[in-house]
């Protein structure tokens, strides 16, 4: 990949060697209707590279954002874990920042208003920015004012010119989706109040590599961040990283707090984690090159288990019609020869089909009705929540296969 046409999304560097190629896959959230099953699906290369100039890990293909997000199948409110996570975060920020009715909280990629609702219920003024019209409509119905557009410099300038400067901006699991990272960072700096903070959550690339979370890689996720990469990106575009936390959610995430450049100095946690990343090797290519071998080993182990169970006459299904599930099924070649169907809690997905492998998606109640012997848990990042919800299925003898980071049966 070095010397090719691809340049880093963050810094424009051209030293971007290949880390892993996952082949050509369909768009992970492009769920199909029955009348689309005979049509040819578009597929795109899924190649992961590392920038030797700014340390950002990223895929090389950029699918136009309107094609990915203008109509979206993921609604955050269908995850109890996400709702608890949002409530805890918003409650803490309200207390720490002393937010009241005169404050403004903006969320970028606000989805169905699951996070902003906590602020609104506490009397804080809120504004959502959400490009998916179908999801924004749900937020509006819940009383969350929402602009249907992509966030960037033009959106930020329009808000700032109207006097809409945010005391707090949330950007949860959206930065990875952004093609224009410099423009997004400048947009945050533009719309922040002088003493405001941007609170950004992203999957942590260290956990992705260490725990073989290859299924976090799909075309909506353009970039995979270390703190080093974030600090260099923000520092180049008017922001300072003030604090950082490591979170368990989504298989391992970073929560970064940033402010306008020069307002405050970074915490000791920022300094320490930047130092740790150097010592762990996250700032060099060698750390990432073992990933391809680790993923290949995982594939062999999982396919061997599924083949053994099928040969023994066991009936198999899957849980979770999420993007990571689509990546796992398509990259590992797991379709109807192994699984009979997929279940998901979201009614927006039920009745449709998984891209590529064309497995039908049904409601979780089908597990009790059809009683498969084993269920491949594609949304393994919510394993505790789902295993608890499926207590009756398990009591009746059903077992779950958790594929990442190690294949195990629960």
Is 8 a domain residue? no
Of 244, 266, 289, which one is at a domain's C-terminal end? Answer: 289
Boundary residue ending a domain (223, 255, 289):
289
The verdict on residue 216 lying in a domain is: yes
Q: Assess whether 353 and 228 both reside in one domain.
A: no
Give the dihedral sign, CA 141/147/149/152. Answer: negative
CATH number at residue 263: 3.40.50.150
On whether both 257 and 339 belong to a single domain, the answer is no
Are 207 and 316 within one domain? no
Domain that holds residue 320: 302-409
Q: What whole-number distance in Å separates Cα of residue 81 and Cα of residue 345?
A: 13
Report if residue 66 sits inside a domain.
Answer: no
Q: Among the three residues 264, 289, 314, which one is the final residue of a domain in this structure? A: 289
Q: How far apart are CA 132 and CA 138, in angstroms?
A: 10
For residues 110 and 213, state if they share a domain: yes
The count of structural domains within the chain is 2
Same domain, 239 and 340: no
Parallel/antiparallel/unpaired status of strands 125-129 and 361-362: unpaired
Q: What is the CATH number of the domain that holds 308?
A: 3.40.50.720
Residue 80: what pLDDT? 77
Say if 35 falls within a structural domain: no
| Per-residue confidence in pLDDT tens, the chain, 410 aa | 333 579 999 999 999 999 999 999 999 999 999 999 999 999 999 999 999 999 999 999 998 877 776 555 555 555 777 788 889 999 999 999 999 999 999 999 999 899 999 999 999 999 999 988 888 999 999 999 999 999 999 999 999 999 999 999 999 989 999 999 999 999 999 999 999 999 999 999 999 999 999 999 999 999 999 999 999 999 999 999 999 999 988 789 999 999 999 878 999 999 999 999 999 999 999 999 999 999 999 999 999 999 999 999 999 999 999 999 999 999 999 999 999 999 999 998 999 999 999 999 999 999 999 999 999 999 999 999 999 999 999 999 999 999 999 999 99
* 243/265 same-domain check: yes
Residues 199 and 84 in one domain: yes
> 2 pairs with which residues across the strands?
none
Residue 316 and residue 193 share a domain: no
Side-chain half-sphere CA neighbours of 213 within 13 A: 22
Cβ atoms of 17 and 1 within 8 Å: the answer is yes
Per-residue confidence (pLDDT) for residue 1, from 0 to 100:
39
d(CA 303, CA 364): 24
Whether 333 and 254 map to the same domain: the answer is: no
Answer whether residue 24 is part of any domain. no
Residue 351 placed within a domain: yes
Going by their DSSP bridges, the two strands 408-409 and 399-402 should be labelled as antiparallel
- What is d(CA 65, CA 250) in angstroms, rounded to the nearest whole number? 22
């Amino acid at each position: 990949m070095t010397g090719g046409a691809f340049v880093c999304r963050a810094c424009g560097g051209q030293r971007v060697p290949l880390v892993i190629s996952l082949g050509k896959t369909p768009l992970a959230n492009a769920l199909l209707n029955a009348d689309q099953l005979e049509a040819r699906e578009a597929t795109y290369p899924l190649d992961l590279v590392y920038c030797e100039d700014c340390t950002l890990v990223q895929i090389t293909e950029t699918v136009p954002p309107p094609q990915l997000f203008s109509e979206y199948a993921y609604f955050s409110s269908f995850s109890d874990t996400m709702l608890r996570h949002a409530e805890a975060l918003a409650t803490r920020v309200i207390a720490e920042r002393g937010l009241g009715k005169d404050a403004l909280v903006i969320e970028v990629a606000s989805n169905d208003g699951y996070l902003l609702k906590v602020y609104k219920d506490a009397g804080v003024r809120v504004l959502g920015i959400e490009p998916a019209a179908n999801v924004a409509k749900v937020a509006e119905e819940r009383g969350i004012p929402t602009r249907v557009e992509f966030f960037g410099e033009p959106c930020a300038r329009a808000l700032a010119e109207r006097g809409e400067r945010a005391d707090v901006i949330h950007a949860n699991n959206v930065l990875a989706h952004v093609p224009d990272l410099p423009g997004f960072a400048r947009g945050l700096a533009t719309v922040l109040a002088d003493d405001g903070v941007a609170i950004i959550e992203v999957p942590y690339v260290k956990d992705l590599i260490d725990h073989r979370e290859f299924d976090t890689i799909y075309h909506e996720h353009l970039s995979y961040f270390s703190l080093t990469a974030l600090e260099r990106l923000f520092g180049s575009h008017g922001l300072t990283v003030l604090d950082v936390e490591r979170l368990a959610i989504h298989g391992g995430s970073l929560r970064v707090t940033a402010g306008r450049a020069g307002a405050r100095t970074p915490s000791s946690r920022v300094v320490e984690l930047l130092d740790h990343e150097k010592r762990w090797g996250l700032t060099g290519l060698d750390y990432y090159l073992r990933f391809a071998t680790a993923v290949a080993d995982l594939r062999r182990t999982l396919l061997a288990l599924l083949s053994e169970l099928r040969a023994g006459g066991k009936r198999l299904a899957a849980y979770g019609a999420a993007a990571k599930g689509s990546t796992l099924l398509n990259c590992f070649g797991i379709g109807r020869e192994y699984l009979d169907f997929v279940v998901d809690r979201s009614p927006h997905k039920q009745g449709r089909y998984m891209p590529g492998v064309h497995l039908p998606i049904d409601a979780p109640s089908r597990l009790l009705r059809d009683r498969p012997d084993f269920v491949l848990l594609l949304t393994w990042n919510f394993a505790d929540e789902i295993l608890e919800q499926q207590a009756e299925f398990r009591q009746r003898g059903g077992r779950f296969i958790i594929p990442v980071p190690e294949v195990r049966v629960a």
